[in-house]
Chains A and B, each alone.
Chain A
């Protein structure tokens, strides 16, 4: 059978592979090459070695956006996962209307980042102006808090769904047995529920980390990086280096930053892979 299918590879693999080459492989390789060039368009590119990288690594705005992103990722990951897990615990505890709550909490996930960003920009700016505080675009701290609230609002439902699935897959016998042995609610939570949903916790943690790290749409819509690039995250910083500056050097810098960004994301994914693998061995 394998042989028969093998002959049909142009039918089965070629369409996807062709589109994949156009949509991913070619732009990726070209992007990698251009990060070593000074260019404004692809045709007008001249090799300039590591200059772009040297500039990118010396760019204080880039570093600022890196720390902003890192801090945001840590804060949002912790908040989202703790709250989502708490809600999932409550909803799996035979509470009335659990399905309705689940439906409501998950809803923001389906709304796109740009739309979400504007909804919250309007809402938060109104709240801030009533409190007579500076608007989002004028104060990076409020921008940070706003982004965190927005991400919590959007992602808690998603992670909650995953935690609920994890909690529901724990056999009832475990919890029954623990109760008969006289375990308290706290002991059941820490000794039985949490160890048994460890795979879900790993998945959710890394999902929130990568989502936070790669965040773009929400950042653009909510604060646009204002004031003066202070609330700019990595993805937006790269975008702005590319498209909102004129001059022959900027695109090369942007591409070099993008490669660095890409490497960071790959490292996070490798750590994730390591984590999931080691968990599988234990089980």
Chain B
């Protein structure tokens, strides 16, 4: 019995190792090809490691950064993600607090609409949303966060209200009796208690914002601003010769920061995912 279990464990371990290789390989393939010269990337050589002839060092990376607009795209993606994240966290947590603490028509209607908005697919509003954004001049990376606040509010409010129901009312009441107004109570008492949920929501929203393609593609003024996913789509989408080298470098530079972030914040990310799944 014991020996059998031991063997089973070893077999499972080997299978998992093989799967893990399969999981890492695609990224590894991009990495090795991003170090090759453009002419050396073809279907027959794509699985080979770079050799003395095809190795070009970081040339592709320099090329992508200087002439392919990667640096600007990275900057815009960063601006959009950070501003939208901050705005979503602050505004929706306040809104969620109101909804959980005040029982009235406004709260009920808002909550129902927020939950509904989580279900509706983006295709339903893509045309009208982009023309609304156009008319209100919300088509730059600096104020697209307002659109994101509106469109991303559903999930955030839902998760915040789920958690706030479990915060005891007494703490807030004590603060109010001691003379805090609601705004002080919220920022000094409620927000610190919310910290774990804030991190979870921030992570879920960041995963969405950083990778979102269609919304910025339709809303932003495309000639002026490109985010990373738009840039990569643009690489492939433009017909004719695709410059594989710089494209591989771009993909690598998109993936690398995410992987580094992930390894540093793994604990929080996994907690955030579980919280989001249980609530969602």
Interface residues of A (CB under 8 A from B): 1-2, 4-9, 11-13, 15-17, 19-28, 30-31, 34, 41-42, 87, 90-91, 93, 95-96, 100-115, 118-123, 125-126, 129-130, 153, 157-158, 161-162, 165, 203-204, 207, 214, 216-217, 220-221, 235, 238-239, 242, 251, 254-255, 258-259, 261-262, 265-266, 269
Contact among B129, B131, B172 for A41, CB-based, below 8 A = B131
- The prevalent SS among residues of B at the interface is helix
- Contact check, A261 vs B98: say whether CB atoms are below 8 A apart: no
- Contact check, A255 vs B153: say whether CB atoms are below 8 A apart: no
List the B side residues contacting A24 at CB < 8 Å.
113, 117, 120, 125, 150-151, 153-154
* Interface 0/1 of B116-154, CB less than 8 Å to A: 010111111111110110001010000000111111011
Contact among B43, B251, B277 for A126, CB-based, below 8 A = B43
- Contact check, A158 vs B273: say whether CB atoms are below 8 A apart: yes
Give CA–CA (A220, B236) in the complex, Å: 11
Q: Is B263 an interface residue (CB 8 A)?
A: yes
- Contact check, A217 vs B94: say whether CB atoms are below 8 A apart: no
- Contact check, B274 vs A101: say whether CB atoms are below 8 A apart: no
- Contact check, A111 vs B258: say whether CB atoms are below 8 A apart: yes
Q: Told that A11-B182, A24-B150, A235-B121 touch, could you supply 20 new A-B pairs with CB distance under 8 A?
A: A1-B173, A8-B181, A9-B106, A12-B94, A16-B157, A22-B147, A24-B125, A28-B117, A28-B128, A31-B127, A34-B127, A34-B128, A41-B131, A90-B15, A91-B16, A104-B20, A110-B261, A114-B211, A115-B255, A122-B46
List the B side residues contacting A114 at CB < 8 Å.
211, 213, 229, 232-233
List the A side residues contacting B44 at CB < 8 Å.
130
List the A side residues contacting B121 at CB < 8 Å.
214, 235, 258, 261-262, 265
Q: Is B167 an interface residue (CB 8 A)?
A: no
Give CA–CA (A34, B121) in the complex, Å: 17
The stretch among B21-29, B49-57, B64-72 that forms the contact with chain A is B21-29
A14 to chain B, nearest CB (A): 9
- Contact check, A101 vs B273: say whether CB atoms are below 8 A apart: no
Give CA–CA (A2, B101) in the complex, Å: 6
- Contact check, B128 vs A11: say whether CB atoms are below 8 A apart: no
Q: Is B7 an interface residue (CB 8 A)?
A: no
* Interface 0/1 of B151-183, CB less than 8 Å to A: 101100100000000000100110010000111
Number of B residues near A (Cβ < 8 Å) is: 96
- Contact check, B129 vs A16: say whether CB atoms are below 8 A apart: no
- Contact check, B263 vs A22: say whether CB atoms are below 8 A apart: no
Could you show 23 A-B contacts with beta carbons less than 8 Å apart? Answer: A2-B102, A12-B95, A15-B149, A16-B92, A22-B138, A23-B148, A28-B124, A31-B124, A41-B131, A42-B128, A42-B131, A110-B262, A111-B255, A112-B212, A161-B273, A204-B277, A214-B121, A214-B122, A217-B213, A220-B233, A235-B121, A239-B214, A258-B123
Contact among A13, A22, A111, A254 for B146, CB-based, below 8 A = A22
List the B side residues contacting A30 at CB < 8 Å.
128, 132
The chain B residue with its CB closest to the CB of A7 is B182
Known contacts A16-B94, A17-B110; decide if A112 and B124 are in contact (CB<8 Å): no
- Contact check, A95 vs B182: say whether CB atoms are below 8 A apart: no
- Contact check, B26 vs A119: say whether CB atoms are below 8 A apart: yes
Q: From B12, B173, B186, name the one whose CB has the most chain A CB atoms within 10 angstroms.
A: B12
List the B side residues contacting A269 at CB < 8 Å.
119
Known contacts A9-B106, A120-B26; decide if A242 and B98 are in contact (CB<8 Å): no
Give CA–CA (A121, B261) in the complex, Å: 25
Give CA–CA (A70, B19) in the complex, Å: 27
B160 to chain A, nearest CB (A): 11
- Contact check, B172 vs A1: say whether CB atoms are below 8 A apart: yes
Q: Is B207 an interface residue (CB 8 A)?
A: yes
Known contacts A165-B274, A207-B280, A235-B123; decide if A153 and B148 are in contact (CB<8 Å): no
- Contact check, A104 vs B23: say whether CB atoms are below 8 A apart: yes
